[in-house]
Amino acid sequence: MLRSNVSRIDPKRRNVPDHRKKQLAEAAYKDTDYPHRLNFYSTPPTADITIEQFEQWAIDRLRILAELEACSFRNKTPAETASHMKPLLDKYLPLDTNSSSSSQLFAQRQKDHYSHFILRLAFASTEDLRRRFTRVETMLFRMRLNADDGRERAAFINSLNLDWETVSDEEKRELAAELAATASFGGFKKGQQQQQYEEDQQTWCKVSWLRVPELVEQRRVFLRQGYAYVPAREQQAMVVSEFSSRLERQLELTARALPRLDEDDRLTPILAHLSKNFITPDASYVGTSSAISSADISARNIDNLVNNHHFPACMSHLHRTLRRDAHLKHYGRLQYTLFLKGIGLNLEECLLFWRQSFNKITDDTFNKEYRYNVRHTYGDVGGDSNRRGGGYSPYSCQKILTEHPPGPGEAHGCPYRHFNMENLQTLLQQGMGVTDRGVLNGVKEDKEKQKFHMACNRVFEHLHKEELKKAKDEGIMTAAQLETIVHPNEYFKRSYLLKNMGKMQGDVKMEG
C-alpha cells in the first residue's frame, strides 16, 4: 500500500511556525469527507491508496485536462465544450450529485480529490506547467460548477466561507433602482430582465471592487463607495476566480516544497512521466490495438492506404521518402515498421513490404543488413523478454516529438515540429491534399505555438470533415471515441473506420 501524503516534515522544524508546514501537518490528521460534489482542494488527502490507483487515477484526470485544453485551442464555445466533454467525464472522471443517491459518490469524489493532488505534484515544478495546470483545472471547475444542481451549488458556495458581505434587505430597498438597472447590462433580453432582477433580489453581495475587475469593466456590477454589488448570476464567476487564485498560490507552495519532499522512489518516475505527458499528451498503446480485423492490411495495399489519407503526416512522409529513395535510415525504418506492425501488418507481409521497397539491393544484402531488425521489432528473435513481449510497441506522438530528432538525410520525426513551414506546406498540399488556406494558416499558428498534436488533429478533421459530421449526426461514433488523437496508430484506426462507415458500422460501434 502507498501512503498518498508522501511528504514528511523534518523533525528539526517541528516548532517553527511555517505556513507551508502547517498546510502539510493539518492534512495528516483530518478524516476525508466529501459532503459536496465540488471541491476547492484545500486539504491534501491522507488515506492509503495503491501504486496502481496512484498512476491510473492521475492518467484518467490527465486525459480530461488534455481534452479540455484541446477544446480551448479549437475555440469551442462553453456549450460545445460541455457537450464534447460529458461522455469523457462520465468515462474517466464521473462526479454524481448528492440527489442522485449513487452508491459510488465517495469513490468518485475520492478519485477526483486524489487525482488533483497527484497532478499538482507533477505539474508544480515549472512556471509554465503551473500556469497551464491552473488554467485547465479552472476550466474543469467552471464547467462542473455551471452543471451542478442549483441547491447543491449554493450549499457548496456557502461552505467556502468566502469574504463576501451579504447585502441587507434594507440596503436593497434603498438601492432598488440602481440594482435593477444593473440587470440591463447582464446580456438578457428585456422580457428576462425583471425576472432576473427578482431572482437576484435574494442573493446580492458586495465585495471590494478590486476583487472583480472584469465584472467592473463589463458593467455587470453596481459600484458604490469602493464596493461592487454583485448579483447572483455573477457570483459564480467570483467563485471560479477564487478557485483559480487559490490554486495558483497553492501550486507555488508546492513548488517550494518539492526539493524537501521525501518522495517514494516508486513515485518519482510516475510524476516525471505525467508532467512530460502534459507537455505533449500521450496515449497508452499496447500491441496491435489499432488493428482492424476486416481491413486489408498487406504489403500490396500499403500504397492504397497512404493515397486514401489514412496515414498521418509523419508516416505519409516516411512512405513517400521510401518510395522515392528505395531506402530509409535506421530510425525511419524503426518508426515506420512499428507503425505498420500496429495497424495489423503481420511479420511475413512486413518482410515482403521492406524487401520490395528496397529494390536497389540484392536479396543477400537485404537478408544480411535488414531482415533481422524487422524480425527483432516483431519479437520473433532476440532475448526471451523481447519475444515474450511481442517486440516493441509503436511510437506515440510524444516519443516521436521528444526522442531522436532527425538529422541530415533522415525522414523520421514529426513534420509539424521538425519541418520548416515551407516544407510542411508542400507536404500537406502535395502529399496529403490539404489546399484550404484556413487550415494551412491554422497549422502555421499551431506550429508557432508548439501545439504540434493540435496541428495534426486540425488536418485530420479537415480530411475527414464529411465523415465526422455523419458519424456525429447519426450517433455512429461518440465524443469519447473522437477525442484528440495523440498516437499515429490511432490516427490510422479512426481514419479507416470513418472512411468505411457504410461497410463496417458494427466494427465502428464496437471500437473504443
Q: Is 71 among the annotated ligand-binding positions?
A: no
- Grid cell, residue 159, equals 461552505
DSSP-derived 3-state class of residue 463? helix
Cα–Cα dist 455/323, whole Å: 25
The C-alpha atoms of residue 371 and residue 368 are separated, in whole angstroms, by: 7
Amino acid identity, position 104: Q
Residue 205 annotated as lining a ligand binding site:
no
How far is 19 from 272, CA to CA, in rounded Å? 27
- Residue 79 burial by Cβ neighbours in a 10 Å radius (0-12, 13-18, 19+): exposed
Residue 314, annotated ligand binder?
yes
For β-strands 205-208 and 222-224, DSSP reports them as: unpaired
Q: Which residue stretches of 344-388 are H helix? A: 347-357, 363-369, 371-377, 384-388
Rounded to the nearest angstrom, the gap between the alpha carbon of residue 417 and the centroid of all alpha carbons in its chain is 19
Q: Across-strand partners of 205?
A: 166, 230
Q: From the centroid of its chain, how far is CA 261?
A: 27
Q: Who's near 114: CB < 8 A, 6+ residues apart? A: 4, 45, 49, 53, 54, 57
Q: Which residues are annotated as a binding site?
A: 314, 397, 414, 456
Q: Which residues are annotated as a binding site for [4Fe-4S] cluster?
A: 314, 397, 414, 456
